[in-house]
A and B are shown apart, each in its own frame.
Chain A
Amino acid sequence: MKIKIALAQFNPKLGDIQANLKKHLEVIDQARQQGADLLIFPELSLTGYALLDLAVDAAIRPHEEDPVFNALLAASENLDLMIGFVHEDRRHRFYIASAYLADGKIIHIHNKIYLPTYGMFDEGRFFAPGDSVRAFDTRFGRVGMLICEDFWHASLPYLLWLDGADILLFASASPGRGLTHEPRLSSSEWVEHTNRAYAGLFTNFVAHANRVGYEDGLNFWGGSTIFDPNGDLVVRAPDFESTLAMAEIDLNQLHRSRARLPLLRDERTVLVARELERILGES
Chain B
Amino acid sequence: MIDLTINTELAEKILVGFIRSELGRVGFKRTLMGVSGGIDSAVSLYLSTKALGPENVLAVRMPYQTSAPDTLEDAQFMIDDLRVQSMTVDITPMVDPLIQYYKEMSKIRAGNIMARMRMIVLYDQSVPFNGLVMGTSNKTEMLLGYSTIFGDAAAAIQPIGDLYKTQVRQFARHLGVPEKVIAKAPSADLWEDQTDEGELGFTYAEVDRLLYLLIDQRYRPETCVDEGFEPAFVERVVKLMQKNHYKRVMPPIAKLSQRTIGYDFLYLRDWGT
Binding site for B on A (CB under 8 A): 13-15, 50, 52-54, 176, 179-185, 213-217, 219, 240
Give the interface of B toward A (CB within 8 A): 3, 5-7, 9-11, 13-14, 17-18, 21-22, 158, 162, 264-273
B6 touches A179 (CB 8 A): yes
Specify which chain B residues have a CB less than 8 angstroms from the CB of A217 in the assembled complex: 18, 158, 162
- Is B5 within 8 A of A219, CB to CB? no
Q: How far is the CB of A117 from chain B (nearest CB, A)?
A: 14
CA distance A27 to B272 in the complex (A): 23
Given pairs A14-B271, A180-B6, A180-B7, 5 additional interface contacts (CB within 8 A) = A54-B271, A180-B3, A213-B21, A240-B13, A240-B17
The 10 closest A-B pairs by CB, nearest first: A214-B21, A181-B5, A52-B266, A216-B268, A53-B266, A219-B14, A216-B269, A216-B270, A179-B6, A50-B268
Q: Smallest CB–CB gap between A144 and chain B, Å?
A: 31
> Residues of B contacting A53 with CB < 8 Å?
264-267
* A214 near B22: Cβ-Cβ < 8 Å: yes
B266 engages A219 (CB within 8 Å): no
- With contacts A214-B18, A219-B17 taken as known, whether A182 is within 8 angstroms of B267 at the C-beta atoms is no
Residues in A with CB closer than 8 Å to B162 are 179, 217
Give Cα distance in the complex from A217 to B7, angstroms: 19
Which B residue sits closest to A122, measured CB to CB?
B266
Please pick, from A15, A176, A184, the residue contacting B272 in the complex, using a CB distance under 8 A.
A15
Q: Is the CB of A240 within 8 A of B266?
A: no
* Complexed CA–CA distance, A185 and B17 (Å): 15
Instruction: Chain B residues near A214: list those with CB within 8 A.
Output: 17-18, 21-22, 270
A176 to B, closest residue via Cβ: B14
Q: Which of B3, B14, B158, B162 has the most CB of A within 10 A?
A: B14
Query: B20 CB to closest chain A CB, in angstroms?
Result: 9
A184 to B22 alpha-carbon distance, docked (Å): 22
What are 16 A-B contacts with C-beta separation under 8 Å?
Answer: A13-B273, A52-B266, A52-B267, A53-B264, A180-B3, A181-B3, A181-B5, A181-B6, A183-B7, A214-B270, A215-B270, A216-B269, A217-B162, A219-B17, A219-B18, A240-B13
Contacts of B14 in A (CB 8 A): 176, 179, 219, 240
Write out the residue numbers on chain B whose beta carbons fall within 8 Å of the beta carbon of A219: 14, 17-18
| List of A residues within 8 angstroms of B271 by Cβ | 14-15, 54
Q: Closest CB of chain A to B50's CB: distance in Å?
A: 15
Which residues from A are CB-within-8-Å of B13?
240
- Whether the pair A179, B11 counts as a contact (CB closer than 8 A) is yes
Q: Tell me the complex Cα distance, A240–B265, Å.
A: 31
The CA of A179 and the CA of B270, in the complex, are separated in Å by 23
- Rounded to whole angstroms, the CA-CA distance of A214 and B26 in the bound complex is 13
- Smallest Cβ-Cβ distance to A13: which chain B residue: B273
CA distance A52 to B268 in the complex (A): 7
Question: In the complex, what distance in Å separates the CA atom of A14 from the CA atom of B17?
Answer: 17
Q: Please name all residues of chain B whose beta carbon is closer than 8 Å to the beta carbon of A216 when the two chains form the complex.
A: 22, 268-270
Residue of A with least CB distance to B273: A14
Cβ–Cβ < 8 Å partners of B6 in chain A: 179-181
| Interface hub of B10, B11, B269, B273 (most chain A Cβ within 10 A) | B10
Closest CB of chain B to A127's CB: distance in Å?
13
Contacts of A176 in B (CB 8 A): 14
Chain B residue contacts of A182, Cβ below 8 A: 7
What is the chain A residue whose CB lies nearest that of B265? A53
CB distance from A219 to the nearest CB of B (A): 5
